[in-house]
Amino acid sequence: MTPRIIDYQIKNSLGELFKTISKKEQNFDHTNTRVLCAVKFSELFSNVDYIFKGSEYLPYESNSIFVYNHLNNHQFYTLGRNFQITLDSHFISSKILYKYYNNPGNRVVRCSLPEEKNHYNYYSKFNYIRVYAQNFIPDGINYKQIKKFNKNFYSHSAKSLKKGEGVIVSPEGFSLNTDNSPGDFKLGVFKLATMIKPEPKIVPIVNVNFENLVSEGNFKCEIKQPFKMSDFGITNSDDLKMNLFVKEFNHKYKLWVKNLVNDDLDFKSEISKLLLKSKNITKTKDQIIFYGSSTIRLWTNLKKDFPNFNVQNFGFGGALISSLSKNFNLIFKNLNPKIFILYMGGNDLSKFNSSKEIVNQQLKFIKKISLFFPQTKIINLSIKPSFERLNKISIIKKINQSMREESISNNKFNQLDFFDKFFKNGKLSKKYFLQDGLHLNDNGYQILQNAISNTLTKIN
């Protein structure tokens, strides 16, 4: 594909960033340099279309180990002397660590070859953890010297983790295109995780398509479930199970990459699971269906929270109102629920700036449900506030208010509002949210449970 205007803008931004960083003095505060870079990349990615998934898996602990499959850049973004500022690694430090932990963390970066002046002038200003990497070994250095130098990885990483910094590392030690990613994982980072006390979490981050032009608009990044090595019975770096674990984890990562390549906003894989679930339901009497986006999908304790009701979870992450409506008939054609409990509209805030448009879509979808199931009661949950959408709070309030007013005269649904419960002394409280500031933790779901239980008792 021929580069477009945005590709030239991205390349110019990368060039300006390189000039800014490389001109800094060697002894300049590296913390400020990392933050400056994270801010600049946050601005750069604000102009890029990408899919980002799995923020609900981010651990509360900032001092975690973030592993990722490292991807090439498109050759168009090459700067002078064949130097590239890789997009995927900077996406992680800026749009994940800096955004959610207010600290871009420390990265593991290969040592520069003597002739790589631009590589050295850029990366030497961050005080990153340096290692010799495969295919980038200077002449005159032998295996013993490399091994001795690379052992510093453990002590430097441990120091960062103890300071509360996240450590970002690619277990491969080199970059590839998506089709061949990831390469074979080295053992180092997994050994590191067993050596630190208290034991840190490992957070897998899956990247695809970062080797494309930005104008192709197909960058994707997904966070997977964090884990500790002890979860697999591995508690020291010499454990005989280490090699087998890393080999199996490497294979799993390859599958994650392939799945993310095929993933899109049509939610095909999630819808197919819901269709299968719908067909296999045997307990049909007095069904209460929870249907909506990730606020529903992530309610893993739904049955436990409503033990006296026949509740079923049909949520799928990232769903727009249009997605819920499009798949509704197909999913529920063989069911006849007593009550539908809906959560929708939150994701539409990224698509529409008009509260009126989102309200109209909600009402249109509710009308569709009532026509399909005329005897089924509908409870529509208000859109919750969140730190991720603080700039949308006024729009959320307008939507909830409009739906509340509509429900008074519209007998098709009941509007259930719990918006104000998430505030303490007039401020949104972090105690109800996961680390991403968007999805709810158990405290947050307790608010929903209380509100819904009271309503079900009244109308059931």
The CA-based angle 291-296-298, given to 5 degrees, is 145
Comparison of pLDDT for 82 and 230, the residue scoring more: 230
Residue 213 reports pLDDT greater than 80: yes
In this prediction, residue 262 carries a pLDDT of: 87
272/278 Cα distance (integer angstroms): 10
For residue 45, the tally of other CB atoms under 10 A from its CB is: 19
At 460, the pLDDT band (50, 70, 90 cuts) reads low
The dihedral sign for the CA sequence 190, 436, 429, 162: positive
Q: Write the pLDDT tens digit of every residue in 83-103.
A: 999 999 999 999 999 999 999
For residue 145, the tally of other CB atoms under 10 A from its CB is: 13
Quick check: 98 and 36 in contact, CB under 8 A? Answer: no
Percent of the chain with pLDDT over 70: 99
In this prediction, residue 408 carries a pLDDT of: 95
Mean pLDDT of 23-45: 91
pTM of the model: 0.93
Q: How many helices (H) and strands (E) does the chain have?
A: 16, 14
Q: Phi and psi for 345 in degrees, rounded to 5?
A: 105, -25
Mean pLDDT of 255-276: 88
Query: For the chain, what are the domain ranges?
Result: 5-262, 268-459
List Cβ neighbours of 257 (8 Å cut-off, separation of 6 or more).
Answer: 69, 178, 181, 182, 206, 207, 208
302/1 Cα distance (integer angstroms): 47
Q: Write the pLDDT tens digit of every residue in 276-316.
A: 999 998 888 899 999 999 999 999 999 999 999 999 999 99
52/54 Cα distance (integer angstroms): 7
In this prediction, residue 227 carries a pLDDT of: 98
Residue 384 CA, distance from chain mean position: 19
Mean pLDDT of 419-436: 96
Q: Which DSSP string corresponds to 99-156? A: HHHS---EEEEEPPPTT-HHHHHHHTTTT-EEE--TT---TT--HHHHHHHHTHHHHH
At 218, the pLDDT band (50, 70, 90 cuts) reads confident
Give the residues across from 423 on adjacent strands: 428
Residue 266 reports pLDDT greater than 80: no
CATH class of 268-459: alpha beta
Residue 265 reports pLDDT greater than 70: no
- Continuous H helices in 284-441: 294-297, 302-305, 321-332, 355-372, 393-409
At 415, the pLDDT band (50, 70, 90 cuts) reads very high
At 263, the pLDDT band (50, 70, 90 cuts) reads confident
Mean pLDDT of 1-18: 92
Q: Write the pLDDT tens digit of every residue in 325-370.
A: 999 999 999 898 999 999 999 999 988 888 999 999 999 999 999 9
Residue 458 reports pLDDT greater than 90: no
Mean pLDDT of 423-452: 97
Comparison of pLDDT for 286 and 81, the residue scoring more: 286
Residue 1 reports pLDDT greater than 70: no
In this prediction, residue 70 carries a pLDDT of: 97
The dihedral sign for the CA sequence 82, 88, 90, 91: positive
Q: If we measure between CA atoms, which residue out of 422, 430, 412, 427 comes closest to residue 448? A: 422
Alpha-carbon dihedral of residues 353, 356, 359, 364, nearest 10 degrees? Answer: -110
Residue 361, amino acid: Q
Please state whether beta strands 219-223 and 50-53 pair in parallel, antiparallel, or not at all (unpaired).
parallel
Q: If we measure between CA atoms, which residue out of 218, 224, 219 comes closest to residue 91? A: 219
Mean pLDDT of 221-237: 97
- Indicate the fold that domain 5-262 takes in CATH: Glycerol-3-phosphate (1)-acyltransferase (3.40.1130)
Mean pLDDT of 68-92: 95
Percent of the chain with pLDDT over 90: 86
